[in-house]
């Protein structure tokens, strides 16, 4: 049964192996992370001090737009799909994903989507400049011609996500090893199962809204054009019906990753496994009924405003349950602080801070002051950077020895952690202050009263960016010259993935394992 991968480029082009595809997803997402990071650093360089220095306002808007789109669709989502590809079959004791050929396809359309998206930077009129939320009619009637390429790129990304989700659902529901009941599945598998359903539910909505834009722009319809009987606010409702679940798509798999890591390094089983599963499901359900809290200032009727305020506040309950469970897992454990654990603990603390500002934003009257300011920017970067990025990083450190059979350097890993941790807080914590002081988001220039916080943010951003280059170096040097890792890697980790050799053979679980 021992046959290895094909040789040369075709191995990667034609592969149907979940490990190869997982690796490609992860490398692709890292490339996008760096690209999106470069866009962010252009923004932070311009905002280093008041006045226009580096980019003109139109290019600045293109940078904020592409930064958001590339980070959301190019970095975070493919990274989670990459981790799912690598880990889900190994975690449920399956030989591969259920639909391997579609798996290849869902990855390989992504590079084309992003090439198309980024190429708009070089088109006449420039790249999309209407923000990653692309509110109509700025993104329709008033958009640069490249908007059509943006629409098609979004369609392709959506198709990729939907195919990836179908594959994950099919794998989890059909290919679990004998004895692996649903309530025995690792939480990463559970959170991804729920995430995949969210994706299937909302990606078509995104496809719908961009198609309506396409119609408005090229075929004379007026979905979002008030002059033709349409409604610009309709766009926001449809977009956020996609957009809010999308936020949870970027955080639920993260919950799964830290739920695997914290018990390993606390040397104590995860506290409240079943309540974690129910809380995840509750968050997923709530994510569908809170979308209009992004639109508190759009002038909804009072009853609508109150409904969305209450529903949004409710999210704090299941999210709180998760945080309490992680805390209880650590309590009376026997903790060590290897790199994955450091990232996971930082995740819990910083994500909770992002949750606090989320709770404040839920209060509709207060949101009238917070809305569209840097306070919001601080909030969603606190949930997304420590949330998604830190958890992915933690996952990479945690499973890298299993993937490549080599151990990373703990000193380097910890250096990376502290640089990233300090950089992140320097960048995003002052944004709470500049936002409360009154700085709107998405502006290329500002009054001097915001100057000091912005200068600190910019310094932090460059530090954070530098830390990620160190990350790249650590991963490559581990693959090339790391010390041999043991099969178990950690002291007593739980899960089927630790029962196979390190590095994990090209084919694992050709015969299903017995789960007791």
What residue has token string 């396409």? 214
Residue 226 Cβ, how far from other proteins at the closest point, in Å? Answer: 2
Residues near other proteins (CB under 8 A), total: 106
Q: Which residues pair with 406 in a beta bridge?
A: 484
Residue span 383-412 as binding mask against other proteins, x where in contact by CB under 8 A, dash where not? ------------------------------
Distance from C-alpha of 468 to C-alpha of 30, rounded to nearest angstrom: 9
160 is catalytic: yes
Could you say which residues in the range 324-353 bind other proteins, by CB under 8 A?
Answer: 324, 327-337, 345, 348-349, 352-353
14 is catalytic: no
In the list 77, 83, 118, 309, the residue contacting other proteins (rule: CB under 8 A) is 309
Q: Calculate the dihedral angle through the C-alpha atoms of 317, 191, 193, 503, rounding to the nearest 10 degrees.
A: 180
218 is catalytic: no
Residue 150 Cβ, how far from other proteins at the closest point, in Å? Answer: 15
322 is catalytic: yes
Find out whether 512 and 415 touch, Cβ atoms under 8 Å.
Answer: no
237 is catalytic: no
* 376 vs 485, beta carbon nearer other proteins: 376
Can you give the three-state secondary structure of 6-34, one letter per residue? CCCHHHHHHCCCHHHHHHHHHHHHHHHHH
DSSP string over 203-271: HHHHHHHHHHHHHHHHS---SS-GGGT--HHHHHHHHHHHHHHHHHHTTHHHHHHHHHHHHHHHTSPPT
Q: Name the segment binding other proteins (CB under 8 A); options: 114-122, 179-187, 354-362, 400-408.
A: 354-362
Residue span 263-292 as binding mask against other proteins, x where in contact by CB under 8 A, dash where not? ---xxxxxxxxxx-----------------
Query: CB neighbours of 229 closer than 8 A, spacing ≥ 6?
Result: 222
**Per-residue tokens: 511:** 């015969």
Catalytic residue among 248, 326, 382, 397: 248
DSSP string over 336-356: ---HHHHHHHHHHHHHHHHHH
Find out whether 44 and 461 touch, Cβ atoms under 8 Å.
Answer: yes
Catalytic residue among 15, 160, 391, 502: 160
Residue 253 Cβ, how far from other proteins at the closest point, in Å? Answer: 22
507 is catalytic: no
Could you say which residues in the range 185-244 bind other proteins, by CB under 8 A?
Answer: 225-227, 231-233
Could you say which residues in the range 4-33 bind other proteins, by CB under 8 A?
Answer: none
CA distances from residue 511 to 3, 54, 402 in whole angstroms, order as listed:
15, 59, 20
* 443 binds other proteins per the rule CB under 8 A: yes
Residue span 143-162 as binding mask against other proteins, x where in contact by CB under 8 A, dash where not? -xx-----------------
Catalytic residues: 67, 96, 132, 160-161, 244, 246, 248, 259, 293-294, 319, 322, 441
């Amino acid at each position: 049964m021992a046959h290895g991968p094909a040789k040369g480029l075709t191995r990667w082009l034609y592969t149907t192996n979940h490990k190869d595809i997982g690796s490609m997803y992860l490398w692709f997402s890292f490339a996008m992370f760096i690209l999106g990071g470069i866009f962010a650093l252009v923004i932070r360089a311009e905002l280093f001090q008041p006045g226009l220095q580096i980019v003109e306002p139109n290019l600045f808007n293109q940078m904020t737009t592409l930064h958001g789109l590339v980070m959301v669709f190019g970095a975070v989502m493919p990274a989670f799909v990459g981790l799912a590809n690598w880990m889900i079959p190994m975690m449920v004791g399956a030989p591969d994903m259920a639909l391997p050929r579609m798996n290849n396809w869902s990855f390989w359309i992504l590079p084309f989507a992003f090439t198309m998206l980024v190429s708009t930077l070089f088109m006449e009129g420039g790249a999309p400049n209407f923000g990653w939320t692309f509110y109509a009619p700025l993104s329709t009637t008033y958009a640069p011609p490249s908007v059509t390429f943006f629409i098609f790129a979004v369609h392709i990304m959506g198709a990729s996500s939907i195919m990836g989700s179908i594959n994950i659902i099919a794998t989890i529901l059909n290919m679990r090893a004998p004895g692996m009941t649903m309530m025995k599945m690792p939480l990463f598998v559970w959170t991804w199962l729920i995430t995949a359903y969210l994706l299937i539910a909302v990606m078509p909505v995104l496809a719908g809204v961009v198609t309506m834009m396409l119609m408005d722009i090229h075929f004379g319809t007026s979905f979002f054009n008030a002059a033709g009987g349409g409604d610009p606010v309709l766009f926001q409702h449809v977009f956020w019906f996609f957009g809010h679940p999308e936020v949870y798509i970027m955080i639920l798999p993260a919950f799964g990753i830290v739920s695997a890591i914290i018990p390993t390094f606390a040397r104590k089983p995860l506290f409240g496994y079943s309540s974690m599963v129910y809380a995840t499901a509750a968050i997923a359900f709530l994510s569908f009924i809170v979308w209009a809290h992004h639109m508190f200032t759009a002038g909804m009727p009072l009853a609508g405003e109150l409904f969305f305020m209450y529903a949004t506040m409710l999210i704090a309950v299941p999210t709180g349950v998760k945080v309490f469970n992680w805390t209880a897992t650590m309590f009376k454990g026997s903790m060590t602080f290897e790199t994955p654990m450091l990232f996971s603990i930082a995740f819990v603390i910083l994500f909770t801070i992002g949750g606090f500002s989320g709770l404040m934003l839920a209060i509709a009257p207060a949101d009238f002051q917070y809305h569209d300011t840097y306070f919001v920017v601080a909030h969603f970067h606190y949930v997304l950077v420590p949330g998604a990025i830190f958890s992915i990083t933690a996952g990479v450190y945690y499973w890298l020895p299993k993937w490549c059979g080599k151990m990373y350097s703990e000193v380097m890993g910890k250096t990376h952690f502290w640089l990233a941790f300090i950089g992140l807080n320097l960048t995003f914590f002052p944004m709470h202050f500049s936002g409360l002081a009154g700085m709107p988001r998405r502006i290329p220039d500002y009054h001097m009263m915001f100057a000091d916080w912005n200068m600190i943010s910019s310094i932090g951003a460059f530090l954070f960016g530098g830390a990620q280059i160190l990350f790249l170096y650590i991963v490559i040097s581990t693959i090339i010259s790391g010390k041999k890792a043991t099969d178990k890697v950690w002291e007593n980790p739980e899960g089927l993935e630790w029962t196979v050799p390190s590095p994990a053979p090209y084919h694992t679980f050709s015969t299903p394992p017995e789960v007791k």
